[in-house]
Structure 1
Amino acid sequence: MSHNVLFTEDPEPSDRVPAGPLFVPVRSGPAGCTARLFRTPLGGRTVVGFTSQQRLAETLGGSQLWVTLSEPALRALAEPLGATIVTVDPRFAPDLSRLHHVRAA
């Protein structure tokens, strides 16, 4: 007896690329929207993406502007700016102005 079962592909926990688009915080500028850059605890430049709009709002506030991008597009956008790290769903310490673990650059 053989069974033909199709599974949808979900990334394994060890996969670097999240499934689906990322909600990327941006700021307004003279040329339009620009991805916000942050710093890791060790001082490296990073861009962040959130797996849901709710997670972005919980972390950066409901008024934070955002765009949706795939992880490869976000990485391609950030690398020329010297941000080679993509941080997904960062958590900020609420008692430290939300900027303890990853701070805006």
Structure 2
Amino acid sequence: MTELRYGDDPEPPEPFPAGPLYVPVRPGPSGYAVRLFRTPPGARTAVGFTSVPRLTAALGPGHAFIRLAGTELRTLTAPLGVTVLTVDPQFTAPAPAPLPAPAATRAPRIARIA
């Protein structure tokens, strides 16, 4: 049998870190729930960060997280139909600015032509 070289390997090693990830969570009715995000095309994705500073840079300070291995995170989100795992996302949208208060509207004036 011929040994495949790294570049010829049809299934290269998983590109994600082997160690635990810092996974953002939100409080739920039964404790904490893993937060799911969307990719730019709109697919749902689970997100993990390799360090707390990276999580803080993307989501802001004080965000709750748990530590999970990538395989555990995939297993946890697979029943929800989430097949994508994003590690250390670098591009995030800024928080939306509050909408300005609507201006007071007046009823249109109807002019009578005599």
**So what's the TM-score if we normalise by structure 1?**
0.74
When the two chains are superposed, the root-mean-square deviation of aligned CA atoms in Å is 2.0
Contact 2:45 2:86 in 1 (8 A): yes
Of 82-91 and 14-23, the range deviating more from structure 2: 14-23
Q: Structure 1 residue runs of 4+, over 2 Å off? A: 14-17
- 1-structure distance, mates of 2:61, 2:18: 23
Contact 1:55 1:89 in 2 (8 A): yes
Contact 2:16 2:87 in 1 (8 A): no
- 2-structure distance, mates of 1:20, 1:98: 30
- 2-structure distance, mates of 1:16, 1:46: 16
Deviation at 1:17, TM superposition (A): 3.1
- The percent identity for this pair of structures is 51
The answer on 1:97 being equivalent to 2:94 is yes
- 2-structure distance, mates of 1:63, 1:41: 25
Letter in 1 for 2:34: A
- Which has the larger share of strand? 1
Which is greater in Rg? 2
The aligned runs of 1:52-67 (5 Å cut-off) are: 52-67=51-66
- 1-structure distance, mates of 2:91, 2:95: 5
Letter in 2 for 1:52: S
Structure 1 pair 40/32, CA: closer, same or farther in 2 (3 Å)? same
**So what's the TM-score if we normalise by structure 2?**
0.68
Aligned to 1:72: 71
Letter in 1 for 2:69: S
Letter in 2 for 1:63: G
> Per the alignment, in what secondary structure is the counterpart of residue 80 of structure 1?
helix
Deviation at 1:67, TM superposition (A): 0.1
- 1-structure distance, mates of 2:18, 2:32: 24
Q: When the two structures are aligned, how many residues end up with a matched partner?
A: 85
